Every structure is written in C-alpha cells, then in structure tokens.
Structure 1
C-alpha cells in the first residue's frame, strides 16, 4: 500500500514538471505533511542564505538583535570595529540563549550560570571553572555563522559551508543593485502570523493570475495587465523586470518623489523577484518592499514585512502619516491574500480535492514549486531544469 502511495505521489509531482500549459499543481502533501517540513528545515533553511533584517537596525557598536530560525537561535550584533557578526545564540556551557530581544550591550551574559562573552563572541568569564580539568577559557568562542550584507540587507546562513555569498546574490545584484538601497532607510517593519504553510505565501506573491480578481478593488485597479513576462533563473528564482502598478496609496500615485535611481523610469514602474528560499522583493518608484516567510510548523508561519524609503523621506514631518497611509492600504491588500492562502492550506488536506491545471500566468509559481520539489524529492521529469544557468532564461 505504501509503495502504491509513493508511486501516486511521484506521478503527481511529475505533472507539475510538464510545460506550464500542460502542468498540474503539486499534491497537497507539499503543504501539510510534517515530514516534508522537516526535510525543508534541513535541506533548505539550514543550507541557504537567509535575509534576517536591515543593517540600520543594529547601527551602532554593541547593537544586537536575536531571533529563532527553524528553531535555531541566532544572535546578530555590530562589533566594536563596526563589522556585523552572527553567532549561534547558545552558551558554550549548556546552550542557554545568552541574549534575547534587541538592544545595545558591551557584553553578553548567560542568564543561567553567568558565563560572559564579548562582542567578538569570545568567552571572557566563567565562574567556578578554574578547577575543571582541560578547560581553557581562551579557547572558547561562540560558533560564528556566515554573515554578509547586501545594500543594507543582512544575510546569515546556518550552513558554515554555504555557497559563496557573492555568487548567491549575483542575480539580485544584477537586477536590483542599481537602486542604491544602502542609502535608503527602513520606514517600518513588522511580523504577522498566518495559518498556512510558508511556501503558499511565497507562491502567492509571484502569482499575478489572481491580481485582477482578488485585488480588483485595491492594487488590481492600477495594473494594466497581469500577463507579464517571467524571467526564470536558477534555484527557483523568478524576475519580472518591468510592469505597470501603483504605489500603495488610494490613488496609486507615489508618496514621494521617486528614488534617485528611478527618476527616469515610468511613473508607475515596478519590478519584482523571488530569492530562494523565502524572499519576495518588490520595487515601486518611491520605495522597496521585502517580505520573508518563515515556517513555525507545517500549517503556521510568520511573515516579516520590511519597507525602505529614500532617506530624505523618512526624516520629513509627514512621514508618520505616510506610514499610516501605507499600512492602511497594505492591510487591505495583504488581508485579501491572507484569506486565500489560509483557504489554500485547508484545501491541501481536503479529501476530494485534486490539484488542478496551471495557467500560462503561473509560469513563475511553477518555476518556484519545481525548485522546492527538486530540493526535497529530486528531479521529476525529462524537462527538469536542474542545469538552468544564472543567465537569463525568459519565457
């Protein structure tokens, strides 16, 4: 019985690898099976580079922030020399997290037994350990994690043998490096819990098929076409290089003058992209939006939203009003999406649901889905794109 189930499952995955106008969406197991999530934690989240925030969130020496990513505790801080470092947030004694939340500190003290660490991760003090045979404080340092910044965005990997960061980010540098985001400032960020699998939201953000229907009274009013040209890259990455959309205002007009590097672009210029494993990126004339989706368990997740504006906008007197206006429209748009992805989660286990055919408007969604299937279950067909280069492959 198990063999028949596995055979049927593989057939279902293979259907997702056909040309998009012949393909089906994948079996629901991708979104509701705890074993699939555990494989994703190990093969994806503990392997890839992960975007964990903005460098301006830890602007001064001693500034730090902490988080848990797939149950791994992480401490990010700005060292005395101004560099940003990432550590496993685990005391070298029994593993208790040595820091919590965010703030500024000259040192980190384990709240359990008082072991003391400096900003370099070096153990500075461990009481009652002098008579412990073979224990050498000077040899004790917090595990350091690979850490890099890209135009003000902080990336960390749980994999000490992670892909070279410059190679990893090359596609995004090619597409978005010109914007000059290092000079932009964080307008606001927030976390929102959802009752769905983490992949469903990532897929939703690249699904232009639904925009004219679900968002017809919000952003759908401002999009001239949803039949956009997708550019497919390695590792499930998808770019839409230019399309017509409005800013998150009632009128679709910009909040401020365009970003300096976008001044020669059309007034409703937009770009978007997916960066594996879980980052959605949107460009508008006067701001940039970044979303990351994080699994909590197989059917719940946390979405993190970051919005960066030109530095001169953030210091204007009316900026708090701008943020309020942005959030009001964003809440409407995201609320429409959230209801749908939570419904998709319910459907993934429905007894009588059979994944349906794909539309040509779902090329981007399909490309991302195929990448995740390959990461977990291996190649699934003759048209598999495992050798797809970093160079452009437009469809």
Structure 2
C-alpha cells in the first residue's frame, strides 16, 4: 500500500494531544476538526486504519451459490468478492493486471471473471487463466499476473476483508460483542439485498458518531416515533477490553417489543431467542471503521460505511429479520409501514450530518465536550486514537530511516566527487 509524508502540522504534539479525546467521557474532548475535513489527514488515515483493519464489505447470503460474486469499493480500491467452486469466499482487486480495466461490476453469477476490454479471464480465486494473443510476449507468465487478493473473515454473517496479509484475525477481539448479539443469531437472519448504495457528503466518522449517539435521540427526534427510547435510559458497558474490535451500548425502552413505526410495537416476528431483558431495550453495536448495527426486537438495521475521501463516503444499508419473516404474505406491507416512519427519522439524521460537516470546516469549530449520554463517541475515540498514534510513530520511524539512508548515500557520492541537489 502507498503511503505519503504527513503534513508538518500533524506532529508529535498533535498526536499526543489526541489523548484528550480518548480520556474518560467526563474528561474527554472531541477530535480536532481536521480529523474530519482535511484531505491530507484522510491520506494518513488510510495507512492508520484502512490498510490494516478488517473492513466489512457485505453479507454471506449475497453469495449463496458457487459462482456468485458482488463488487464494492473502499478508499478508492475496486474489489470483487466471490464464492468459488469449493464454496469458499474470496476477495480480490477487480483491477485487470493488463491495462487496469475493472473486470467486474455489480453482482451476478459467473464461472470466471472476464475482463470486457481484452478478454483476460480470471478464476473465482483471482488466478489468470486466459490471456489471448500473449504468446509472442517475451517472458510472459500467467502466474505473474493474478488479481491481488485480500484476507477474508466472516463474522455474524458479515464478510470482512483486510488488505494486510499479516493482520491478526478479527473474531478473537469481538468476544464482548458476540455476547451481546448472540440471541439475535445474525448469521441466520435474513433480509432483502440493499439496493443502490448512498453517497453522502460528510466524513465517515460523522456518520458513525450519529448512528450510535443516544444524546440526540429524543431531542432531534422528539415525538411519538422516537420518545419511547429516551436518551436517559442509555447504558454503557464498564468492562470492554482495551483491544476490542468493536463497542456497544444499550438503550432501554418504555415498553417491551418497541419498534420504530406508528404503533411503536414490533411488526415482524420477534427474534426467538431474545430474553425479556433484551425485549425491553435496543442495542447499538459498532465495528469501526465500516460496520454499524441498530438492533431492535424484530429487526436489525446494518450500515456498511465505505470512506472514499475526507468529506464523503458510500453507505450500504440493509435490514435483517428473523428466519421466515420474509415468507409472510404481508411482509412488503409491513416493510412499507415501518419505512414510512423510519424515513422521517433518517431524514432528520442526514440533515444534521450534512450540517455538522459544514460546521467542522468553520474557523470557529473547536474541540467540544461530551455528555455522559455520548460515551459511545468516546468509545470510538478510544478505538481510533491508539491506531492514529501507532501509525504516526511507524511513519516517523520510516521517515527517519529514509533520511538517514539518503544522508549516507549523499556522503558516499560526495566521496567520489558527485554533487547532489
């Protein structure tokens, strides 16, 4: 992966000051506005996060049969995810290794991936299996031109990929979330495939923060569609491990089996394993930098965030239901009823997100303070800050080594009378 030199303003003092954002919520400050708006910081963030962390790209159920594939992109990298003949899920770059044409778009089923430009063909594992009229090209070997592959891991029915082949596995760091999600049985849950992804003009962290912000719940969303999930009933875990791959919070409801629709009650079958306690609350789980979950008794909204610049990101949004829910003859009508209510809430959130991005670019934007009801924002900071600081230390060491090497090379050249610069 390519990395760039950091802007001098992002120095040791800047990264040391980020500790204030990861402090306990009663002491913490928000991240500096540049972390949400600056293109150079986003380039750094690619190396700090996206080049080495596990990134959610979709659901296993999108690849039901051998030959099924779908495409996606994140931080400017076009990817194709496949299920091969051995029913294994594979992830690879979708950039043809001939002339950089994208070899697949959308989703479908195929025996191989055929580049439409010059008909180079790749197996569902990414191996180059055909390259027409290349027999006179000197030294050409198909094995040298396979599609670059990524690590793949599946968790709770979601597919994750990692550009870093040395990255440790994800699942061991999600034990805390596994316990919270166990009774939803997300691996068996079902739902319609998301349609065309959204593209939003704000930083991915703004979206992440809003998705899990209980502080605004019955303020911005004041009214009968949301008042049964009051901000005052937000609760947060006290025992999240420091090396966790995700975090969560609960929010109590004023009555059991609450749901976002005009009836305030569940419209779909309840997840059958939920306890009475779980039916009296909603849960919010986050796996930065790509997956956010909103869990109620009868449905789970999932949001897959795919950053593409400092101020924009793509979003794949879907809903999961208990097995069998989609067979109900009234399923579509129930979805319409639910979405008519949820769409009002979503519209309020999207407007706020857009205006927050505007505000963050102001000369008057500051590092604010948090309410106790915003502890989930501090949890995100606690996940981010060590990764930012570790990446800065790593890049600084690389820059120092490169400068030392260059200095040594200039000295050698000077010894033989060659002047540089």
Superposed CA RMSD: 2.6
How far apart in 1 are the matches of 2:192 and 2:153?
A: 22
How far apart in 1 are the matches of 2:10 and 2:59?
A: 45
2:297 to 271, 285, 288: 285
Superposed CA offset, 1:151-171 (max 9, x none):
321111122122213324433
Conserved in 1, the CA contact under 8 Å of 2:233 and 2:253?
no
Conserved in 1, the CA contact under 8 Å of 2:120 and 2:132?
yes
Conserved in 1, the CA contact under 8 Å of 2:68 and 2:108?
yes
1:123 equivalent in alignment to 2:123: no
1:211 to 189, 196, 217: 217
Q: Residue in 1 aligned with 2:397?
A: none
Superposed CA offset, 1:120-146 (max 9, x none):
322221112223233233565322211
User: How has the CA–CA distance of structure 1 residues 360 and 62 changed in structure 2, closer, same or farther, with 3 Å as cutoff?
Assistant: same
User: How has the CA–CA distance of structure 1 residues 146 and 177 changed in structure 2, closer, same or farther, with 3 Å as cutoff?
Assistant: farther
Q: In the TM superposition, what is the alpha-carbon distance from 1:364 to its structure 2 partner?
A: 1.6
How far apart in 2 are the matches of 1:310 and 1:336?
A: 28
State which drifts further: 243-252 or 50-59: 243-252
How far apart in 2 are the matches of 1:240 and 1:4?
A: 35
Q: Residue in 2 aligned with 1:383?
A: none
1:368 equivalent in alignment to 2:373: no
Conserved in 2, the CA contact under 8 Å of 1:89 and 1:97?
yes
| Displacement over 6 Å in runs of 4+ | 2-5
- Give the TM-score, by structure 1 length: 0.87
How far apart in 2 are the matches of 1:345 and 1:37?
A: 14
Q: In the TM superposition, what is the alpha-carbon distance from 1:118 to its structure 2 partner?
A: 2.1
How far apart in 1 are the matches of 2:175 and 2:151?
A: 17
Q: In the TM superposition, what is the alpha-carbon distance from 1:370 to its structure 2 partner?
A: 3.6
Q: In the TM superposition, what is the alpha-carbon distance from 1:320 to its structure 2 partner?
A: 1.1
How far apart in 1 are the matches of 2:307 and 2:278?
A: 37
2:56 to 51, 59, 67: 51
How far apart in 2 are the matches of 1:378 and 1:108?
A: 38
How far apart in 2 are the matches of 1:8 and 1:299?
A: 25
How far apart in 2 are the matches of 1:271 and 1:262?
A: 12
State which drifts further: 98-107 or 216-225: 216-225
SS of 1:261's equivalent in the other structure is coil
1:272 to 269, 284, 299: 284
Conserved in 2, the CA contact under 8 Å of 1:146 and 1:158?
yes
State which drifts further: 259-268 or 83-92: 259-268
How far apart in 1 are the matches of 2:387 and 2:155?
A: 25
How far apart in 1 are the matches of 2:127 and 2:390?
A: 41
Q: In the TM superposition, what is the alpha-carbon distance from 1:177 to its structure 2 partner?
A: 3.1
- Give the TM-score, by structure 2 length: 0.82
1:107 equivalent in alignment to 2:107: no
2:179 to 147, 161, 174: 174
1:61 to 58, 62, 66: 66
Conserved in 2, the CA contact under 8 Å of 1:227 and 1:361?
no
State which drifts further: 38-47 or 241-250: 241-250
SS of 1:67's equivalent in the other structure is strand
How far apart in 2 are the matches of 1:309 and 1:135?
A: 50
Conserved in 1, the CA contact under 8 Å of 2:262 and 2:341?
yes
Q: In the TM superposition, what is the alpha-carbon distance from 1:308 to its structure 2 partner?
A: 0.6
User: How has the CA–CA distance of structure 1 residues 127 and 80 changed in structure 2, closer, same or farther, with 3 Å as cutoff?
Assistant: same
User: How has the CA–CA distance of structure 1 residues 26 and 213 changed in structure 2, closer, same or farther, with 3 Å as cutoff?
Assistant: same
Q: Residue in 2 aligned with 1:228?
A: 234
How far apart in 2 are the matches of 1:209 and 1:263?
A: 26
How far apart in 2 are the matches of 1:338 and 1:273?
A: 19
Conserved in 2, the CA contact under 8 Å of 1:188 and 1:308?
no
Q: Residue in 1 aligned with 2:414?
A: none
Conserved in 2, the CA contact under 8 Å of 1:41 and 1:70?
yes
Q: Residue in 1 aligned with 2:206?
A: 200
SS of 2:182's equivalent in the other structure is helix
Q: Residue in 2 aligned with 1:300?
A: 312
How far apart in 1 are the matches of 2:121 and 2:193?
A: 33
Q: In the TM superposition, what is the alpha-carbon distance from 1:224 to its structure 2 partner?
A: 4.1
How far apart in 2 are the matches of 1:224 and 1:318?
A: 30
Matched length: 379
Superposed CA offset, 1:75-127 (max 9, x none):
11111122211111122223322111111111111122211122232222111
Conserved in 2, the CA contact under 8 Å of 1:236 and 1:368?
no
SS of 2:18's equivalent in the other structure is helix
